[in-house]
Amino acid sequence: GGGGSKEEANAGEGSGEGCGSAAVPGAIIAMHPDLVKQAKSLPTGIPRGWNLSLLKGVFALAYGLAGTKGKKVQLDECSLYLHHPVPSDGAEKGKLPALLHFHGGGLIFGDARMDDFYVRSVVEELGIIVASVQYRCAPKHPFPAPLDDAEKAFHWISQHPDVDQSRIIVGGQSAGGHLAAA
């Protein structure tokens, strides 16, 4: 690849490349753990996938998170989901702080979208841009592939026209925290 990027469809849709997102069923990606627990407690005769989708939608509407959908950005072998805050009337124009977020999964599984609840909450509450990285995982992509992807994502977000380069935060969950610290 030539180092460029391409913004695509909403983050909740599309292929699950990267760390084997098959380990994370599509119906529960971006689902708050309390909602998953409630949905799993339903009687077995009720289709759970349908209920998870319904609960996810209701929760998003109830907490005002429906407007923070991310856009998929392809960066050669890795990708990220870019979440912008929804501007309010009279909102300040200009560059915003950003969080570059890495998901957990021991560098062997996981999906950038599995932290969507957290990511959307950060976008909504802090009014910042969040880029959630879909890095490549072992064993298909051995180390240092995830670290290379983290570096590529950092360079990409630091050049984004909407991001204040002096206010970029790097963080993650579990293995993602290790990538952030590196």
Reading the chain (182 residues) residue by residue, the pLDDT tens digits are 444 544 443 333 334 455 654 444 444 445 667 767 776 776 666 555 555 566 656 655 554 444 446 899 999 999 999 999 887 765 667 899 999 999 998 998 888 888 888 898 899 899 999 999 999 999 999 999 999 999 999 999 999 999 999 999 999 999 999 999 99
Question: What Cα–Cα distance (Å) separates residue 35 from each residue in 50, 68, 142, 174?
Answer: 13, 19, 34, 22
Q: Tell me, what's the pLDDT at 87?
A: 74
By DSSP bridging, strand 129-134 and strand 78-83 are antiparallel
> Measured between alpha carbons, how far apart are the two ends of the chain, in Å?
24
Q: Which amino acid is at 73?
A: V
DSSP 28: G
Buried b (16+ CB within 10 A) or exposed e, 54-90: ebbeebbeeeebeebbbebbbbeebbbbbbbbeeeee
Q: Tell me, what's the pLDDT at 21?
A: 44
Q: Tell me, what's the pLDDT at 92?
A: 62
Q: Where are the chain's structural domains?
A: 5-23+67-181
Residue 156 backbone dihedrals phi, psi, to 5 degrees: -65, -50
Is residue 98 within 8 Å of residue 163, measured between CB atoms? Answer: yes
**pTM to 2 decimals?**
0.67
Domain 5-23+67-181 class, CATH top level: alpha beta
Cβ contacts of 77 within 8 Å, gap of 6 or more: 1, 136, 141, 145, 149
Residue 111 backbone dihedrals phi, psi, to 5 degrees: -155, 140
Residue 131 backbone dihedrals phi, psi, to 5 degrees: -115, 115
